[in-house]
Amino acid sequence: MGDRRIRGDWLQRRDVAKRLGVSYARVRGLEREGQLVPKKDRAGVWRFDPVEVATLAEKSDRRGRSSAGELAARVAELDAEGKTAREIVCLLRVSPELVRRLRAELAEPDAWVIPAADVRALRALLGETIDGAHLVRAVSALVRDARAARLDRIGSARGVALEEAG
């Protein structure tokens, strides 16, 4: 049956994928390559030693591969540049699921999402030097200005109404 020495803190494949910043399929590849060796627990579930996973992550970092944090930062940078998910996957050689998850985790709750096609159209109008972050700031400034102008009009209208009533 399964190994009795495997404790509850041993990791399943999805946990290993998260810690290494790779896809589930890549974890399977690491198994085939012999870089990760799972063991079955009492319930028959394949699990990985967290120390072995941490060691592999450290080796990967030393060889110049991206750590999970560096990968997240790079996805955020490319996203701010207006790159599509497909472009990010191709550039970084990571799974689409990982890109979607990182984008969702990195999204600011009040951030505006401008579709990549719209960003490309705006760049064509405004020039290639503008990036996604600058576009969002520019649109936000326009909205603030429009809101302020509207409040000024409302205030003026109220003032006129008060004068007429008085």
> Quick one: pLDDT band at residue 155, thresholds 50, 70, 90?
low
Place of tokens 């990549």: 116
Dig out the tokens for 112 from the structure: 């505006």
Are residues 6 and 39 in contact, defined by beta-carbon separation less than 8 angstroms? yes
List Cα–Cα distances, 102 to 78, 98, 134, in angstroms: 12, 6, 21
Q: What is the pLDDT of residues 51-95, one digit of tens each?
A: 888 888 877 655 545 567 778 888 888 888 888 888 888 888 788
Which residues, at least 6 apart from 15, have a Cβ–Cβ distance to it below 8 Å? 48
Q: How far apart are CA 99 and CA 23, in angstroms?
A: 10
Mean pLDDT, range 110-125, rounded to an integer: 70
Q: Which of 80, 84, 114, 120 is nearest to 99 (CA)?
A: 84
Alpha-carbon Rg for the chain in angstroms: 25
Instruction: Decide if pLDDT at 117 tops 80.
Output: no
Instruction: Decide if pLDDT at 11 tops 70.
Output: yes
Residue 110 pLDDT: 63
Q: How many CB atoms lie within 10 A of CB 86?
A: 11
Instruction: Decide if pLDDT at 41 tops 60.
Output: yes
